[in-house]
């Protein structure tokens, strides 16, 4: 059980929760750079150490019973997000959600209560929970959406992403492959499936998945499918931010798979001065490869750096691993584990690498 946290501290934590954060459509959620206040990182760190206690009551009717419709909400049947950890990390750490005192979750749940079998509302209620790291509860909603609409790719994609957040890589692969079967032209499905393969140590599969999406960038069907609600693989040609993010993960996967010539060809368009505003960390990693920045530059960012160390730092560590500098990589990875932003892809990747290193050293 988590340690007790006073209600005043929980309120402080919740006041810092990223209630307004919604990744731009061109940004792969969890992999983007961030300029959130350092206070949020500190507060999130307190959650990891102390945990939380005491879940707020949901909406009630005049009798004190749960409001009609809320009893059908799958998220309310999941473990309490404020007293139970979302997951035990690969290295044995309890990882906790953040309390929502903004009312965002309650508002989404109230709308859902009016139509509890509405797939759109189930997805909406699940997605709002990402802002507070309440992934188990979100996944319960996505599971219900899948039961109601098994041919819809979206709940598989979102549940798969949350399996990544919870370090359940094989389950993430299952869901994201199901999403790919239903939406083979979707950029976000490909991006997260490739990431799940990578985190599971299936580097060749990750590279192949990313290259599959790149091969569709000029495909007529992919272009026709693109819309505000569907980021197609054609985004790799039309959106520089998307191209940078997928290129960096493709390079990471190809080099770990020993396919260095393909990696070189994949990044041959990278040069200094490109107008990258969101995926700055990934762009900086790619600039390392063309000699425009050094590892020391990236590992020692100033207070106004436009990227998070955990994102750019993993790219540096991955290149060290490829070069055979395991000791140097481990040092960087352990540094990244100090970041309390536990849902970040860089933090998850560092954890997965250290877990593999531990298994290798123990002969497991």
| pLDDT tens digits for range 305-344 | 999 899 999 999 999 999 999 999 999 999 999 999 999 9
The per-residue b/e assignment along 286-312, b for 16 or more CB within 10 angstroms, e otherwise, is bbbbeeebebeebbebeeebebbbbbb
**58: confidence class by pLDDT, cuts 50, 70, 90:** very low
> What confidence score (pLDDT) does residue 328 get?
98
What value does the mean pLDDT take over residues 170-177? Answer: 99
- Within 13 Å, how many C-alpha atoms sit on residue 242's CB side? 23
Q: What is the pLDDT of residues 143-152, one digit of tens each?
A: 999 999 999 9
> What confidence score (pLDDT) does residue 77 get?
84
Q: Beta-strand (E) ranges in the chain? A: 87-88, 94-95
Rounded-to-integer distance, Cα 284 and Cα 315, Å = 9
**2 occurs within a structural domain:** yes
**284 occurs within a structural domain:** yes
> What confidence score (pLDDT) does residue 302 get?
86
What value does the mean pLDDT take over residues 168-187? Answer: 99
What value does the mean pLDDT take over residues 244-256? Answer: 99
The answer on pLDDT for 51 being more than 50 is no
What value does the mean pLDDT take over residues 259-288? Answer: 98
The answer on pLDDT for 94 being more than 90 is yes
> What confidence score (pLDDT) does residue 72 get?
76
The answer on pLDDT for 8 being more than 50 is no
**206 occurs within a structural domain:** no
Q: What are phi and psi of 65, to 5 degrees?
A: -85, 160
Print the domain residue range for 85: 1-21+36-53+68-114
More confident residue, 36 or 254: 254
The answer on pLDDT for 55 being more than 70 is no
**346 occurs within a structural domain:** yes
**77 occurs within a structural domain:** yes
Rounded-to-integer distance, Cα 333 and Cα 342, Å = 13
Tokens of residue 196, six digits: 């799940």
> What confidence score (pLDDT) does residue 364 get?
54
Rounded-to-integer distance, Cα 24 and Cα 208, Å = 26
The answer on pLDDT for 354 being more than 50 is yes
The answer on pLDDT for 70 being more than 70 is no
> What confidence score (pLDDT) does residue 363 get?
60
Number of structural domains the chain divides into? 2
Inter-residue contact 227 to 18 (CB < 8 Å):
no
Q: What pTM did the predictor assign? A: 0.81
> What confidence score (pLDDT) does residue 39 get?
36
Inter-residue contact 195 to 152 (CB < 8 Å):
no
Percent of the chain with pLDDT over 70: 79
The answer on pLDDT for 11 being more than 50 is no
**69: confidence class by pLDDT, cuts 50, 70, 90:** low
Inter-residue contact 83 to 54 (CB < 8 Å):
yes
The answer on pLDDT for 186 being more than 80 is yes
Provide the sign of the torsion angle of the four alpha carbons 258, 261, 262, 266, taken in this order. positive
**281 occurs within a structural domain:** yes
What is the average pLDDT value for the chain, to the nearest integer? 85
More confident residue, 59 or 235: 235
**171 occurs within a structural domain:** no
> What confidence score (pLDDT) does residue 215 get?
98
**52: confidence class by pLDDT, cuts 50, 70, 90:** very low
Q: What is the pLDDT of residues 97-128, one digit of tens each?
A: 999 999 999 999 999 999 999 999 999 999 99
The answer on pLDDT for 23 being more than 60 is no
**125 occurs within a structural domain:** no
């Amino acid at each position: 059980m988590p340690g007790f946290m006073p209600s005043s501290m929980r309120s402080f934590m919740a006041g810092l929760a990223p209630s307004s954060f919604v990744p731009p459509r061109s940004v792969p959620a969890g992999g983007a750079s961030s300029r959130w206040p350092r206070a949020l990182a500190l507060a999130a760190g307190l959650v990891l150490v102390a945990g939380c206690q005491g879940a707020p009551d949901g909406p009630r009717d005049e009798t004190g019973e749960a409001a009609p419709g809320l009893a059908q909400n799958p998220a309310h049947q999941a473990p309490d997000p404020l007293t139970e950890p979302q997951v035990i990390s690969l290295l044995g750490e309890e990882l906790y959600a953040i309390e929502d005192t903004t009312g965002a979750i309650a508002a989404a749940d109230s709308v859902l209560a009016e139509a509890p079998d509405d797939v759109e509302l189930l997805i909406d209620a699940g997605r709002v929970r990402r802002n507070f790291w309440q992934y188990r509860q979100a996944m319960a909603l996505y599971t219900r959406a899948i039961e109601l609409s098994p041919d819809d790719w979206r709940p598989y994609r979102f549940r798969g992403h949350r399996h990544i957040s919870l370090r359940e890589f094989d389950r993430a692969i299952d869901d994201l492959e199901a999403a790919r079967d239903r939406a083979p032209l979707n950029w976000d499905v490909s991006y997260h499936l490739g990431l799940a393969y990578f985190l599971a140590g299936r580097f060749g599969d990750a590279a192949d998945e990313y290259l599959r999406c790149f091969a569709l960038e000029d495909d007529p069907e992919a272009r026709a499918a693109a819309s505000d609600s569907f980021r197609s693989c054609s985004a790799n040609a039309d959106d520089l931010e998307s191209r940078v993010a997928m290129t960096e993960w493709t390079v990471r996967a190809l080099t770990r798979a020993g396919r260095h010539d393909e990696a070189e060809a994949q990044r041959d368009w990278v040069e200094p001065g490109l107008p990258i505003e969101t995926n700055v960390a990934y762009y900086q990693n790619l600039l390392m490869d063309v000699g425009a920045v050094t590892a020391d530059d990236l590992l020692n960012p100033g207070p106004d750096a436009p990227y998070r160390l955990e994102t750019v730092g993993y790219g540096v560590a991955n290149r060290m691993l490829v070069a055979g500098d395991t000791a140097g990589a481990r040092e960087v990875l352990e540094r990244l584990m100090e970041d309390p932003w536990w849902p970040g892809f860089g933090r998850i990747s560092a954890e997965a690498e250290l877990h593999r290193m531990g298994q290798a050293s123990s002969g497991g």
